[in-house]
Structure 1
Amino acid sequence: MTIDLVAAEHFLHTHARLLERLQFAALVHGQSDEPVRKALQVYQNPDGGFGHALEPDVRGPDSQPSAVRTALAVLADVDALDDPITERAAAWLATVSGPDGGVPTVLPSATAYPRAPWMQPRPESGFLTFALAGLLWQSGVDHPWLRPATEWCWAALAADPDPAGYTVKFALDFLDSVPDPRRAADAVERLRPALAADGSLPIPGGTDGERVRPLELSPRPDSPSRALFTDRQLDTDLDRLEHDQHEDGGWDVDYLHWCPAQSLEWRGIATVQAIATLARNGRLNLDNGDH
């Protein structure tokens, strides 16, 4: 194993948000997930949604679907999707959902604040609906929004003969969680042509060479999306992830760094995600928080 957890923790204490520090403490040191839950609460607005740059590419305080996805993903990583936060977030999603059951990727309120250049409001339902529906299926929360959102996901998959980029990534998040294994397996296979020979997913219009790697597309063993990848592709990507730790102890993302705060916040998120993925896939033993 080549991972330096001491250096990773030092990086987080030097550069990352409190939220990622608490996730690391829960993941590596076996501390309670309760501080993670409480840290998320300060990002939740009275309307039940999340904002305040919880998702680093939308910097405003108002609730946004991308911030809700981030919040639920954090809870999922510490096995805490049973928190009441989840049901409140689902109720907010219902208030911004369109007649088709989906949610826009970016709401108009984002225009009043700094944001990444790709975070442009559009009225139509977008690919975050896949990810949000998948996380709610993981949670076990049977909110009324989930059924029409799920129908939107199936319809969107059927209507797009050539999905690409983050549509594929978030569709896999949905297919890994929806409780319809046969239908999900068929849909996963239809996404195979979007992948490059090494199993990665090119991102049209991204930075030079930007792509989503196999372990980002399918982070959990035994999920339906694993059918897309060979053992060799996954082992190669695990090797890459191990060796991507920087000298300062952290990991990085390959998409555009458009402001200093966003850059460091994503690096903190990427560092926690890398450690969690390596542990989940047998490359890192975190029993008893041993370094």
Structure 2
Amino acid sequence: MTRITGPFVAIVTPFDAEESVNAAALRRQVARQAAVGNGVFCAGTNGEFYALSFEEKVKVAAICVEAAGGRVPVLAHVGEISTHQTIALGKAVQGLGVRAVSAITPSFIACSQDELIDHYRQVADALTVPVYLYNIPARTGNTLQPDTARTLAEHPNIIGIKDSAGSQESLDGFLAIARERSDFDVLVGPDSLVLHGLRHGAAGCISGLGNIAPVTLNGIHASFVRGDLAAAEEHQTRFSTLRKDLYAFGFPPAMVKRALRHAVPDVGASRAPVLIAGEVDARIAALAATYAEAV
């Protein structure tokens, strides 16, 4: 399989006033990212997978693949609490044309590392599409240790990891594995560490803030690839500043969507119980006016 590289956006899932998936708005967001060369990662954390039904997750993946039209690759998130449901969702999505899927560690259930190994092996065995591990312990309560990822990297259908633990230390632990073998890649999750990851061997990134600033995101990667580190640093600084200022207001996926909504109203609001109003909303609107990029 051709290696999957470059910047991806963890695309938001637009909703209408009744909180139903807004397919037309989603197509427009996919087209907006494809126009600048960013791949699409659908039904992830910023896509509110935790608030989507099984059928909606499949629908979102289908819409994204159709809207991308082969211009950029599409990855889909299929992680569920149980191994059984993760496999079921993966099987429903894998035939839609996605390049690969990712799965967070099971949430709510406190898993040992052996249980995580068994979980991911079962998922990778069951699917024909390549699988990325997805480490986001702050949300799941389970941490994928580097030694666990090193063991799972031996599986022929596990091709890498999206690390969203949020720390350079965590990211560096997985980057070390990627440098050991050519068949295991790291996709950077934290927007503040995109350039650091690229400098140390990451294949790319999956960004939430790319919803707001797709040109800046693409600029980090494109500048790095062409060897213009000064430009890459400039783009990264802008991205990191946005991250620091925006995420100070609350739950990051909700903050990203709210900021994007101020620039592109048809993406709609986050599903309840998320509620953003008053002074916080006004300050998010000010950030959107400064950072949102029209494409």
- TM-score, length-normalised on structure 1? 0.34
Structure with higher strand content: 2
- TM-score, length-normalised on structure 2? 0.34
Task: For CA contacts below 8 A with separation 6 or more, give which structure has more relative contact order.
Answer: 1
